[in-house]
Structure 1
Amino acid sequence: MRDWMIGVYAVVLLTLIAAAGFVGLFGKDDLRGERALKILKIVLAALAGAGGLLAAVMAGGR
């Protein structure tokens, strides 16, 4: 069950990163591009923090 949850979480985050990155790089509207880059920064920070937390939890369970 844990593997499914981690997999779905990873897919959702990768989708958000890809969409925000695409809009940030190739979007024609400046305001939309700025918002996409803010979302990209937030998602990457969440991914880095959650990845560290997940690694600590999994290592602590051994």
Structure 2
Amino acid sequence: FWSPVDPEEVPDYYSVISHPMDLETMRCKVDAEEYETRDEFRRDVVLIRANARRYNPCG
């Protein structure tokens, strides 16, 4: 969640997750004032959770 997934550590991650997101990237987007609305910010938070659940499904 903190930083982008390293493809050397998790080689298949980017074949499973097509829209990666992490908190470091979000911080950069905040600093660059790329979020125009709260909903855009919220979508990235939801995306982090969705990616985690997709890559690490229950069971």
Tell me which interval the TM-score lies in, with the shorter structure as reference length. Answer: 0.3 to 0.5
Q: Which has the larger radius of gyration?
A: 1
Q: Taking structure 2 as the reference length, what is the TM-score of the superposition?
A: 0.42
TM-score calculated relative to the size of structure 1: 0.41
Write 1 or 2 for the structure with the bigger share of helix.
Answer: 1
Higher relative contact order, chain-length normalized (CA < 8 Å, sep 6+): 2
